[in-house]
Amino acid sequence: MIEFENVSFAYAGEEPCIRGVNLKAAEGECVVFIGRSGNGKTTLTRLSSGLAPYYYEGTLDGKVRLGGTDLAAMPQWERSKRVGCVFQDPKSQFFSGELAGEVAFGCENLGFSVPEIRMRTDGVIRAMGLGGLRKTPLDRLSSGEKQKVAIAAARAAGPRVFTLDEPTANLDEESAGR
């Protein structure tokens, strides 16, 4: 599903932060990157989703493939349809001030019909136990609740791949298991 072939990456104006990475992750497989801060874990998630080098500018050497297709040849909308992203700081990716709007945002951008957006939004909110937060502004949520909202928003569009940067950092044990 995701393949890195001899991948090196340097953010604009910096030395490479990862070098010579070779990795294959099959569909249904969960891959966890562990290591000290600054060792490239976030960069690997950004490369997997196509955010680097297309949003986070830099120099990419090697190939990153998603479902056999080189990410460099894939339009941004297609990458966002296939890969759901959750950032380390979930509030940095919010576009809405309320739960349903945030969860629906990706589906709206991908052009889903209104009934489909409602079905997906309501389904994910229900599945993640977030119904009680519908009327609470996102800026009033706890860090863990914001993390759950970001995960719900990533799930709503139904991507086949998820990249999560520190996905359980703000969650209690029960929430992390969902």
In angstroms, the CA 20 to CA 18 distance is: 7
In whole angstroms, what separates CA 118 from the centre of its chain? 21
Q: Give the DSSP H or E segment for 26.
A: none
Q: What is the pTM of this model?
A: 0.83
Instruction: Give the three-class secondary structure for 86.
Output: strand
Residues 6+ apart with CB under 8 A from 143: 90, 170
Which residues on neighbouring strands pair with residue 161, listed in sequence order? 83
What per-residue confidence (pLDDT) applies to 171? 62
What per-residue confidence (pLDDT) applies to 177? 62
pLDDT tens, residue order, the chain (178 aa): 899 999 999 999 999 999 999 999 998 898 888 888 888 889 999 999 888 998 899 999 999 999 899 988 988 888 888 888 888 888 788 988 999 999 999 999 999 999 999 999 999 999 999 999 999 999 999 988 998 999 999 999 999 888 888 766 666 677 666 6
